[in-house]
Amino acid sequence: MTEAHRLTNGRVFTGRRLVRAVLMEDGRITATGSEEEVARAAPTGATVYDLDGHLVLPGLIDAHLHIAELTRSREGLTLEGVGSISDLLERLRGWADSHPTSAVVGRGWHVEQFREGRAPERTDLDRAVADRPVVLYHASGHAVAVNSRALEAAGFDRSVPDPPGGRVGRNSDGTPTGLLYEEAMRPVASIALAAFPPEPAAIARTLAFVGSYGLTTVATMNTGPEELEALRALANAQALPIRVRAYVRLPFADAFSPSGLELSRKDGFWGIPGVKAFADGAFGPRTAWLSEPYADAPGESGVSVGEEGELLSALSRASERGLVPAVHAIGDRALERTARVLEAIARPDRLRGRIEHAALTPPSVLPALDRVRPALVVQPGFVWSDFWLSRRLGAERSRWAYAFRTLADRGHLLAGSSDAPYDPVDPWRGLAACVARRDPFGRSANPDPSESLPAEEAVVLYSVGAGLALGEPDLGTLEVGARADLVRTGVTDLARALALGASAVQETWVDGRPVPLSRGSYGEQSPSL
Ligand SMILES: [Zn+2]
């Protein structure tokens, strides 16, 4: 029995063109075009939906986020919008009082938002909670502030040196301050995991919430064994509300047997396409690896995570097993290294590799990218969120941050993503930031208007482009043969949809069926322009 739905009388953007009607049969698009064309193709008994002139878009795709961390940040302690260290301690005390047993794990602090103009340290946190570990992630996820109990559990003291690829914040006598960067964060990750193990029910709630924005596929990055197990449980029970792709954590990739790769994606809801690796950190904690020192810290040029040779051999082993490399590279120096590594392991029969973020692309790194042509998985929302970037880089260099137009004009494949929870998951915020480089308060990491994209091209980043970056050309499009994933809006044109943001979404369809919405319980809203 065929399940067929015909959507008529709409403005349907297929990812390539605007049409009036679309036909879905058993989860696939089988016709798309004028009313007559689609009516002729429809089987008798197809359900007919009148779109009433409203806009339909391909199901949106977030090509890079972190489902377990997003779940933890939705259901754990959030420090977003905290304006000072004393307010942070207040919030910490409140959370600890109402959660008396477990370690305290939070996320979202940012020095640029603190009145004190410095990061919280061990001695600050001890004043709020001293009887159990406290682990507070920086908004970027690339640094963490811990109290004395957590530092002790992690095994850092004056006599222990910094681990390779990591940095331990220290006083002049070498005593750790409680700030840990990059690889030095690894020992406290288990504390966070023990306090918030990824549970299938909680992950399903997060995915339903994510789906309410019109997202029909998400790629969760740097997946560890616990998150993978929870996602597999949901996939096996056919309980994933939207499609999920996982890029496993590099050290864990070697443990995969080729038969366990789950690349077949029979029902298309689940797959493990690749492996995630790191070449550097982030701009906020000054760990993004730059070719010239930071403008606001002349002695620092960031952190190179791992050795180039090791990265190359680990990624080529993973590629041999069918896992596509996705390498985090933010600074220009990290991008140069990553391009070299991807070039060395590229083969004509393999899917193209991905560079995650590709944030700082001055003219000096463009030739290397042009040669290798990886998918560039960008986060347009960072154009607004990193409004302080010119302090870190200087105005001349920040001109080349998030240079989407420059990259697209050179023929690069760009894929949209949020990096949630390190930025709001809302794709409408990212769409708006592609078009208007300045946020509603006039702020921007790189306001250069020549880097903005037209609205339709922005939608392509979050649909067709992201599908291609996942190696799945049948995602993110409403052309014939594609999976029947779409967003039904309550507006008649794209400009109005971008102005309204997420509230323009009326329904999210996955695999030819509407999925239940669950937005409203959480504070992420699209600012209206
Ligand atoms: Zn990320």
> In the structure, what pLDDT confidence band is assigned to residue 520 with cuts at 50, 70 and 90?
very low
From the CA of 11, how far away is ligand 1's center (Å)? 34
From the CA of 415, how far away is ligand 1's center (Å)? 14
Backbone angles phi, psi at 137, to 5 degrees: -80, 140
CA–CA dist 240, 126 (Å, integer): 41
Q: Are 279 and 143 in contact (CB under 8 A)?
A: no
Model confidence pLDDT, tens digit, residues 109-160: 998 889 999 999 999 999 999 999 999 999 888 899 999 999 999 899 999 9
Q: Is the peptide bond before 285 cis (omega within 30 degrees of 0)?
A: no
From the CA of 21, how far away is ligand 1's center (Å)? 37
Q: State which of 195, 219, 236 marks the end of a domain.
A: 195
DSSP H/E element including 245: strand 243-249
Residue 251 pLDDT: 85
From the CA of 139, how far away is ligand 1's center (Å)? 11
Query: Is a pLDDT exceeding 80 seen at residue 367?
Result: yes
Q: Which domain covers residue 392, as residue numbers?
A: 62-66+198-515
Alpha carbon distances (Å) from 171 to 121, 145, 176, 290: 11, 14, 6, 25
| In a shared domain, residues 409 and 304 | yes
CATH of the domain at 40: 2.30.40.10
Residue 518 pLDDT: 61
CA–CA dist 151, 134 (Å, integer): 9
From the CA of 23, how far away is ligand 1's center (Å)? 36
| In a shared domain, residues 104 and 146 | yes
Site of tokens 């030095």: 184
From the CA of 65, how far away is ligand 1's center (Å)? 6
**Which residues fall within 8 angstroms of residue 50, CB to CB, at 6 or more apart?**
8, 9
**Which residues fall within 8 angstroms of residue 102, CB to CB, at 6 or more apart?**
132, 194, 195
| In a shared domain, residues 137 and 223 | no
Q: Are 128 and 77 in contact (CB under 8 A)?
A: no
Question: Residue 434: inside a domain, yes or no?
Answer: yes
Question: Residue 72: inside a domain, yes or no?
Answer: no
Mean pLDDT value across the chain = 92
Strand-strand pairing, 60-65 and 215-223: parallel
From the CA of 9, how far away is ligand 1's center (Å)? 40
Query: Is a pLDDT exceeding 50 seen at residue 216?
Result: yes
Residue 258 pLDDT: 59
Model confidence pLDDT, tens digit, residues 222-270: 999 899 999 999 998 989 999 999 999 998 887 776 555 565 556 799 9
> In the structure, what pLDDT confidence band is assigned to residue 525 with cuts at 50, 70 and 90?
very low
Question: Residue 529: inside a domain, yes or no?
Answer: no
> In the structure, what pLDDT confidence band is assigned to residue 192 with cuts at 50, 70 and 90?
confident
Q: Are 84 and 42 in contact (CB under 8 A)?
A: no
CA–CA dist 468, 376 (Å, integer): 11
Residue 193 pLDDT: 79
| In a shared domain, residues 457 and 506 | yes
| In a shared domain, residues 191 and 274 | no
Q: Residues of the chain with pLDDT > 70: what percent? A: 95
From the CA of 221, how far away is ligand 1's center (Å)? 6
Q: State which of 195, 217, 250 marks the end of a domain.
A: 195
Residue 266 pLDDT: 64
| In a shared domain, residues 342 and 438 | yes
From the CA of 237, how far away is ligand 1's center (Å)? 27
From the CA of 51, how far away is ligand 1's center (Å)? 37
From the CA of 83, how far away is ligand 1's center (Å)? 24
> Structurally, how many domains does the chain consist of?
3
Mean per-residue pLDDT for 359-372?
A: 97
From the CA of 356, how far away is ligand 1's center (Å)? 8
Reduced DSSP (H G I as helix, E B as strand, rest coil) percent helix, strand, coil of the chain, to 5: 35, 25, 40
From the CA of 54, how far away is ligand 1's center (Å)? 34
From the CA of 454, how far away is ligand 1's center (Å)? 26
From the CA of 52, how far away is ligand 1's center (Å)? 39
CA–CA dist 62, 215 (Å, integer): 7
> In the structure, what pLDDT confidence band is assigned to residue 347 with cuts at 50, 70 and 90?
confident
From the CA of 141, how far away is ligand 1's center (Å)? 8
Mean per-residue pLDDT for 306-333?
A: 93
Query: Is a pLDDT exceeding 80 seen at residue 522?
Result: no
Residue 340 pLDDT: 96
Q: Are 178 and 486 in contact (CB under 8 A)?
A: no
Query: Is a pLDDT exceeding 70 seen at residue 31?
Result: yes
431 compared with 527, residue with greater pLDDT: 431
Residues with CB under 5 A from ligand 1 (ion): 419
> In the structure, what pLDDT confidence band is assigned to residue 523 with cuts at 50, 70 and 90?
very low
| In a shared domain, residues 262 and 119 | no
Mean per-residue pLDDT for 189-198?
A: 82
From the CA of 422, how far away is ligand 1's center (Å)? 7
Model confidence pLDDT, tens digit, residues 66-88: 999 999 888 888 898 899 999 99
From the CA of 523, how far away is ligand 1's center (Å)? 21
Mean per-residue pLDDT for 401-409?
A: 98
Residue 349 pLDDT: 78
**Which residues fall within 8 angstroms of residue 425, CB to CB, at 6 or more apart?**
62, 65, 70, 209, 210, 213, 215, 418, 524
| In a shared domain, residues 103 and 229 | no
Please provide the DSSP assignment of 20-87 as one string: SEEEEETTEEEEEESHHHHHHHSPTT-EEEE-TT-EEEEPEEEEEE-HHHHHHHHHSEE-TT--SHHH
Model confidence pLDDT, tens digit, residues 12-28: 999 999 999 999 999 99
From the CA of 249, how far away is ligand 1's center (Å)? 11
Residue 527 pLDDT: 33
Residue 528 pLDDT: 31
Residue 180 pLDDT: 95
> In the structure, what pLDDT confidence band is assigned to residue 297 with cuts at 50, 70 and 90?
very high
CATH of the domain at 385: 3.20.20.140
Strand locations in 86-155, DSSP E?
Answer: 104-109, 134-138, 143-146
Find the angle CA(236)-CA(242)-CA(244) to the nearest 5 degrees.
Answer: 65
Query: Is a pLDDT exceeding 80 seen at residue 420?
Result: yes
| In a shared domain, residues 185 and 203 | no
| In a shared domain, residues 82 and 33 | no
Mean per-residue pLDDT for 469-482?
A: 96
From the CA of 6, how far away is ligand 1's center (Å)? 38
Question: Residue 527: inside a domain, yes or no?
Answer: no
Question: Residue 520: inside a domain, yes or no?
Answer: no
Residue 265 pLDDT: 57
| In a shared domain, residues 189 and 234 | no
Strand locations in 102-214, DSSP E?
Answer: 104-109, 134-138, 143-146, 166-170, 176-182
| In a shared domain, residues 159 and 306 | no
Mean per-residue pLDDT for 488-516?
A: 94
Mean per-residue pLDDT for 47-54?
A: 96
